[in-house]
Structures are given as C-alpha cells and as structure tokens.
Amino acid sequence: MTNLAQAVYVEMLKARRSRVSLFTALGILILPLAAGFFMIILKDPELARRVGLISTKAHLVAGSADWPSYLGLLTQSIAGGGLVLFGLVVIWVFGREFSDRTAKDLLALPTPRSAVVLSKFVVTAMWCAALTAVLCLFGLAVGVAIGFPPASHQAILEGFLAIVAAALMVIALVTPMGFFASAGRGYLAPMGTTFLILLLAQVIAAAGWGEYFPWSIPGVFSQGQPLGAASYAILLLTSLAGLAATLRWWERADQAR
C-alpha cells in the first residue's frame, strides 16, 4: 500500500494554506491583462496615444486585434511565462520542505518516499492545471471586454486548445525543477537554474534549434509551427527524466541536513 491518496491530501492541504497559491493565481492573471493591453493598442493606436497608454514615439509590432491574434499571444505568454510560474510552483512545493526543515519528517514514515514525491508532482500538476483554467476563463473575459470582431467558434476553440496544449507541455517540462529544488535544498538554486534554462531556451530558439531543446519546444509550438515526433519524444523524455531524478534523489541521497 503506497498511501498515495492520503499523501496527495496532505500536499493539497499545504498548498491550500499557502499564500503562494494566491500569488501564482494573481501572477497568471497578468498574462491576459498584458495580452489585452497589446490588443487595445493594436485596435486603436491613436486612442492609445491620446490616453497615454503608449508614447507618441512608439512603433507598434504589426498585428491585428482579433480573437486568433489575442489567443495566439496568450499561447506564447504561457509557453514562456508559464515556465517561470509553473516552475515556481514545483520549486515551492519541493523547496519549502528544505527551507522549513520539514523534509526529515517525510523520510521515515510508513508512506514510502516515492509516494511523497509522486503526491507532490500530482498536486503541482493539478495546481498548474487550475492556473491554466484561470488563464482561459480570465482570458475569455478580457477578450469579451475588449470586444474583438466576431470570429468563428471553431477559431476561438482552436485558440483555447492551443493555450491548453502549450500549458500541458510546460507542466510536463517543469518536473526537473523538483529535482533541482530537492538537490539544491531550497529555492535559490532551482530559481537560478530555471532562469538559466529560460535564457538558453530563447537563445537556442533564436538559433533555429528550438524544436530540439526541451524548454524551447512550447515556444516553437506557440508560434504555430508544427512539431515533429522528435520534439514530442524530447518533451516526454525530459518530463520522465525529471520525475525519475527526483524520485531517485529522495530515495537514495543522504539526508544529512
């Protein structure tokens, strides 16, 4: 008996009581607000200049203010910003056990360490999925409030499905942060690693190799480029490697602190 369900309950309790859950929810709201802001400017640049939203000297990136563009922008933002936000969720869930010095209380229980680790990944996946739902609902509300030209239900549905697909890719890609937070015994090392990965993802994507670097793949996907089987395989392997490394670390590493 692994007692996984009870371990998930405990992790949910810790997540619910934490302020970090509120902060991440507020963080995800920024994405539709920022995308909506760009759409308002695109919709009527002169108005935006008059009310001071942008400088009179601003040069706007070409684009159109409509549902597909707006949802495309949200997909890009979750592919990039999601890595930071979802990474933060995983880093907090694992890293807090070390900064609060509670990890030792999880190591010699009848509930196996593997169940403890899996419960953390289950809860972080659920947490990130909930953030994605918040993003979609709030994104819809912001879109309706802006008043885009009518678009087909099919186009809007496809736009939201792309957001969900990009979010799922990011959720799969943040499992290594669990390992970095555990091996780094806290927040600082995994945060630094996450930002380094984000930087590398940008550079590698700009060099044209994005479909082969795991953390660039959601970005490539969000640009509307079709992904090959290799990219999906890399995604899956990275996710499993993160999971396996974290499990192995909790099972085998010396817990001397």
Partner 1 sequence: METAIETHALVKRYGDVTAVDGLSLHVARGEIYAFLGLNGAGKTTTVRLLLGMVRPTSGEVTVLGKQIRFGLDKPWDRVGYLVETADAYPELTVRENLEAVRRLRPGVESAAVDRAIERLGLGAYANRRSGTLSLGNSQRLGLAKALLHRPDLLLLDEPANGLDPAGIVEIRNLLIELSRQEGVTVFLCSHILAEVARLAQRIGILHQGRLLQELGLEDLERNRRRRLVVRARDADAALVALRGGGWSPVLAAGGEIEIRDAAAIERPDDVAAGLVQAGCPPTMLMVEEEDLEQYFLRLVGQAGGGA
Binding site for partner 1 (CB under 8 A): 1, 3, 6-7, 9-10, 13-14, 17-19, 100-102, 104-111, 116, 251-252, 254-256
Q: CB-wise, 90 or 103, nearer to partner 1? A: 103
As measured in angstroms, the least distance from the Cβ of 85 to partner 1 is 20
CA of 69: how far to CAs of 43, 95, 199, in Å? 11, 37, 25
As measured in angstroms, the least distance from the Cβ of 7 to partner 1 is 6
Q: CB-wise, 158 or 251, nearer to partner 1? A: 251
As measured in angstroms, the least distance from the Cβ of 27 to partner 1 is 19
Q: CB-wise, 11 or 211, nearer to partner 1? A: 11
Three-point CA angle 164, 241, 7, nearest 5°:
75
Cα separation, 232 vs 214, in Å, equals: 9
Report DSSP letters for 100-142, one per residue: TT-GGGGSSSSS-HHHHHHHHHHHHHHHHHHHHHHHHHHHHHH
CA of 42: how far to CAs of 36, 37, 48, 73, 166, in Å? 10, 9, 9, 13, 24
As measured in angstroms, the least distance from the Cβ of 123 to partner 1 is 13
- What single letter denotes the amino acid at residue 156? I
User: Does residue 49 come out as left (phi exceeding 0), alpha (psi in the -120 to 50 range) or beta?
Assistant: alpha
As measured in angstroms, the least distance from the Cβ of 87 to partner 1 is 21
As measured in angstroms, the least distance from the Cβ of 24 to partner 1 is 15
Q: CB-wise, 110 or 149, nearer to partner 1? A: 110
Cβ within 8 Å of residue 43, ≥6 positions away: 65, 146
Three-point CA angle 24, 28, 31, nearest 5°:
150
Q: CB-wise, 100 or 158, nearer to partner 1? A: 100
As measured in angstroms, the least distance from the Cβ of 53 to partner 1 is 39
Q: CB-wise, 67 or 250, nearer to partner 1? A: 250
Q: CB-wise, 22 or 62, nearer to partner 1? A: 22
